[in-house]
Amino acid sequence: MTLHEAIELFKDHQKDNAKEKTRESYGYLFRNLETLLEDGPLDATSAQDLYQFLLLLTEGRARSTARLRYAQLKSFFNLVIEGTHTSMTNPCNDPLLSKTFRAPRVKQREIIGREVVDEIIYRCRKTRDRLILELQARCGLRIGEVLGLRASDVNGRRLTLRRPKSGRDEESAFMPETLAGRLRTYVETQNLDPDQRIFPICYSTARSLVKRLGDKMEVKIRPHDLRRHSATYASRNGIPLEVISKIILRHQDLKTTQMYLGRISEAEALRWMDVLHGK
């Protein structure tokens, strides 16, 4: 199989399994790959060839871009090798590539406790500000999703999220009954038209709001920490991981959800052992 044939095979697979933006990103990679490596036998492509290719392709770019291109190449070879049942070894597994372009170790952020989050929310003087924080901390919404809500998106305890990060046309999020009541009352008192945004502020304003409230509690906090808190709080209260992933955070992969959850302390581990088996 030639390099060109392998690329076409991969593109056919993407037609039904990848978003348009993903296909465009791979398209850029493939155009350069065929230009620089030419159309020779796929199994003749060496790790050194790919190493030089990645250095040229990502010269002057951020390290994250180089890691992305490496990950795309690795996925490309994996799919072609598995799809054609060839005995070829993925050249991207070579230590030269895997060590050069490996992702850095992610430092897990400290999860802010429920008492602190509740206190930050209760200190909000404006109803608008409290609702913004609660929709993140109680419902797991991203700050962009909160700021994008329109009056017509509120339907009882269900929220319709337009153009979500997943690429779907829309998604649904759900609210506790008390929060749903306060949001409904707020929308009514603002006399909003159906297409009007409920919270017509920008991201920087929302970020400053959260930071300012955190500073009063001597806590470093950003909007996304509230979304992480919602996941960890649900997990610590025994909510199944599948529910947290698919309903609260709306992730496509459980592994992504697991990255959100805070570390379990020794005290928590012992408490859960007591819950499961008694003292």
Q: Over the chain, what HEC string results?
A: CEHHHHHHHHHHHHHHHCCHHHHHHHHHHHHHHHHHHCCCEHHHCCHHHHHHHHHHHCCCCCHHHHHHHHHHHHHHHHHHHHHHCCCCCCHHHCHHHHHHCCCCCCCCCCCCCHHHHHHHHHCCCCHHHHHHHHHHHCCCCCHHHHHCCEHHHEECCEEEEECCCCCCCEEEEECCHHHHHHHHHHHHHCCCCCCCECCCCCHHHHHHHHHHHHHHCCCCCCHHHHHHHHHHHHHHCCCCHHHHHHHHCCCCCHHHHHHHCCCCCHHHHHHHHHHHHCC
- Residue 17's pLDDT is 83
Rg over CA atoms, the chain? 24
In this structure, is residue 162 part of a structural domain? yes
In this structure, is residue 202 part of a structural domain? yes
- Provide the pLDDT confidence category of residue 269 given band limits of 50, 70 and 90: low
- Is the domain of 129 the same as that of 267? yes
Kindly tell me if the per-residue pLDDT of 185 is higher than 90: yes
In this structure, is residue 108 part of a structural domain? no
- Is the domain of 149 the same as that of 193? yes
- Is the domain of 119 the same as that of 72? no
- Is the domain of 140 the same as that of 181? yes
- Is the domain of 163 the same as that of 238? yes
- Residue 7's pLDDT is 92
- Residue 107's pLDDT is 61
- Is the domain of 89 the same as that of 122? no
- Is the domain of 18 the same as that of 77? yes
Could you give the C-alpha distances from 128 to 118, 185, 186, 190, 198, in angstroms and in order? 16, 11, 8, 10, 9
- Residue 109's pLDDT is 62
In this structure, is residue 109 part of a structural domain? no
- Is the domain of 144 the same as that of 268? yes
Question: Of the residues 100, 126, 146, which one is the last residue of a structural domain?
Answer: 100
In Å, how far from its chain's centre is CA 59?
27
Torsion sign (Cα): 212, 214, 215, 217: positive
In this structure, is residue 141 part of a structural domain? yes
- Residue 215's pLDDT is 93
In this structure, is residue 242 part of a structural domain? yes
Domain interval for residue 8? 3-100
Which pair of structure tokens corresponds to residue 8? 């076409």
Kindly tell me if the per-residue pLDDT of 110 is higher than 70: no
Kindly tell me if the per-residue pLDDT of 167 is higher than 80: no
**Across the chain, what does the average pLDDT equal?**
88
Kindly tell me if the per-residue pLDDT of 137 is higher than 70: yes
- CATH number, domain of 89, equals 1.10.150
278: left (phi over 0), alpha (psi -120 to 50) or beta: left
- pTM of the full structure: 0.61
- Residue 16's pLDDT is 82
- Is the domain of 141 the same as that of 209? yes
In this structure, is residue 237 part of a structural domain? yes
- Is the domain of 30 the same as that of 79? yes
Kindly tell me if the per-residue pLDDT of 108 is higher than 90: no
- Is the domain of 77 the same as that of 120? no
Number of domains in the chain: 2
Question: Of the residues 73, 100, 127, which one is the last residue of a structural domain?
Answer: 100
- Provide the pLDDT confidence category of residue 177 given band limits of 50, 70 and 90: very high
Q: What is the mean pLDDT of the segment spanning 269-274?
A: 69
In this structure, is residue 105 part of a structural domain? no
- Is the domain of 74 the same as that of 141? no
Per residue in 40-86, pLDDT (tens digit) is: 888 888 999 999 999 999 999 988 899 999 999 999 999 999 988 88
- CATH number, domain of 122, equals 1.10.443.10
- Provide the pLDDT confidence category of residue 25 given band limits of 50, 70 and 90: very high
- Provide the pLDDT confidence category of residue 114 given band limits of 50, 70 and 90: confident
Q: What is the mean pLDDT of the segment spanning 148-175?
A: 90
